[in-house]
Amino acid sequence: MGKNNDIIASNQLFAILVNIVIGVGILTLPRTLAEKAGPDSLIVLAIGSVLFLVVALVIQKLVTKFPRKTIIEITNSALFKPVGFLVGLGYFIYTFTLVVLEVRVFGEITKNYLLVNTPIEIIIITFLITSIYLVRSGIESIARLSVIILPLSIFPAILAAAVAIPDLDFTYFLPILRTSWSDMMKALPSVFFSFLGFEFIVFIGFFVGDSKHIKKTTIRTVAFVSCVYFIFTAITIARFGIEESKNLIWPVISLFKSVDIPGTLLENVEVVIIATWLLAIFMTIAIAYFGATFLLSRLIKSKEQNYFAIALLPIIYFLALIPENIVEVTDFMNIFTNYMGTTFSIIIPGFMLLISFLRRKPKRGIKKNG
């Protein structure tokens, strides 16, 4: 019962992290994997997940070392003051851009599959207003909602995918390990980037009350997400084959489309699945949105986080409408995740951890001497 609305349990952190990570990325993952790794997609996915676990543990180590601190304060204490501001600003721009991109992707998916005749502007503005409600409700509400949304969004999708099992042909994954090592290495980053969002822990970790359990939560999160990815990649590629998977824009949505649940009341079940999947995307965006406003309020040391949420809305709205079409968005997103993602999820946390290790040792020495 935190009175300031700023304490979450580690179990809720798990739900939040899974909700951030699983969102838009999974929809295209089978295609990128099929393009780059061919029949060895699943192996690459497995290796990539393990590697990401290492990265996640590095980030987690940093967060656990500085309980109840955001990346800004961490940097401040590890280095010196203005750097913290710059790093915080970097994270703000990063999360903010993510919000903009994902809002656009969300709008495109909704328009394509649910509301063909409705202008995308309406979809985006209604969506943003709804997410503002959540952002303004604070982290505790976000945490509670994450716990509820997680099963609501993932189980229908897994169920629908499971219906496709009789049609699967796993020979598409044969022969194994024929892809050259260099190709496999090239495919690894795309697995990596599908886990992006996890690095939000550097400022969401701030809210965790029982920071002892963050490590366990990290492992659980990565394990859970990679399981979900594994299931969907396996089923999608086994359903369509390598070649077809390469040509689908959203292979996972196509998977839902191809599913024909026998004896149901409804046809085109994919509409329902997409509708529930929208909940997952909503959570991704809303949490990122919250992160952006939270970082902003920390940067300028203001307590009026709720007003930033409203102030940012028109900016997000107009920026999201700039790209001409979805191809432009995905292209930009690829470049963006390649550079920004690497910087903010690997380089900065790793660097900070290194520095904090280096800086702590001499201090101990001084204490012993004194």
Partner 1 sequence: MSNYEELFKPKEENQDKINLTKSLEENLKKVKRILKGSDDMVYREFNVGENQNLKFATAYAEGLADKVIVNEYVLKNLMVLARMTEPQVSNIREKVYELIKNGVLSVSDLKEVDDINVITDNILAGETVLLIDKWDKAIIISSKGWPMRGISEPQSDVVIRGPREGFTETLRVNTALIRRRIKDPKFKIKQMKIGSRSKTDVAVLFIDGLVNQDILKIVVDRLKSIEIDGILVSGYIEQLIEDNWRSPFPQIQSTERPEKVAANIYEGKIAIIIDNTPFALIAPTTFNSLLQASEDYNERFLMASAIRTLRYISMFISVLLPALYIAMLSYHPGMIPTELALYIAGNRDGVPFPAVIEAFIMEGSLELLREAGIRLPGPIGSTIGIVGGLVLGQAAVEAGIVSSLMVIVVAITAIATYSVPNYSFGSPFRLLRFAYMMGAAFLGLYGVVLVFLISLIHLTNLKSFGIPYLAPFVYNMSIKDLKDTFIRAPLHKMKRRPEYVAKNDKDRLSNHFNRDYLKKGEDSGGEK
The smaller minimum CB distance to partner 1, of residues 122 and 347, is found at 122
Based on CB atoms, which residue is closest to partner 1, 87 or 273? 273
- CA 110 to chain CA mean position, Å: 19
- Take residue 339 and report the two structure tokens written for it: 């550079």
Position 223 contacts partner 1 (CB under 8 A):
no
Distance in Å, CB of 370 to partner 1, minimum: 44
Name the one range near partner 1 by CB under 8 A: 50-58, 115-123, 292-300, 325-333: 115-123
| Stretch of residues binding partner 1 (CB under 8 A), selected from 12-20, 198-206, 227-235, 338-346 | 12-20
The span of 38-46, 63-71, 125-133, 227-235 binding partner 1 (CB under 8 A) equals 125-133
Q: Which stretch binds partner 1 (CB under 8 A): 10-18, 40-48, 79-87, 304-312?
A: 10-18
Closest approach, Cβ 98 to partner 1, in A, equals: 20
For tokens 């295209």, the residue is 28
> 128 with 317: CB under 8 angstroms?
yes
Q: Which residues, at least 6 apart from 342, have a Cβ–Cβ distance to it below 8 Å?
A: none
Residues numbered 128-167 forming contacts with partner 1, rule: CB under 8 A: 130, 133-134, 137, 141, 143-145, 147-151
Which of 50, 81, 118, 180: binder of partner 1 (CB under 8 A)?
118
Q: Which is nearer to partner 1, 6 or 73 (CB)?
A: 6
Distance of alpha carbon 97 from its chain centroid, rounded? 13
Regarding 273 and contact with partner 1 (CB under 8 A), the answer is: no
Please select the residue that binds partner 1; options are 282, 289, 294, 344, rule is CB under 8 A. 282
CB of 138 to partner 1, least distance (A): 8
> Please, what is the minimum distance in Å from the beta carbon of residue 92 to partner 1?
24
Decide: is 7 part of the binding site for partner 1 (CB under 8 A). no
Q: How far is the CB of 105 from partner 1 (least distance, A)?
A: 15
Contacting residue, 182, 267, 303, 324, with partner 1 by CB under 8 A: 267
In 3D space, the residue among 11, 10, 14, 4 whose CA is nearest the CA of residue 221 turns out to be 14
In the window 92-111, what residues touch partner 1 (CB under 8 A)?
A: 110
Residue with tokens 């955001």: 70
83 binds partner 1 (CB under 8 A): no
Tokens standing for residue 173: 């994954």
Q: How many chain residues interact with partner 1 (CB under 8 A)?
A: 39
Binding site for partner 1 (CB under 8 A): 1, 9, 11-12, 14-15, 110, 114-115, 118, 122-123, 126-127, 130, 133-134, 137, 141, 143-145, 147-151, 265-269, 271-272, 275-276, 278-279, 282
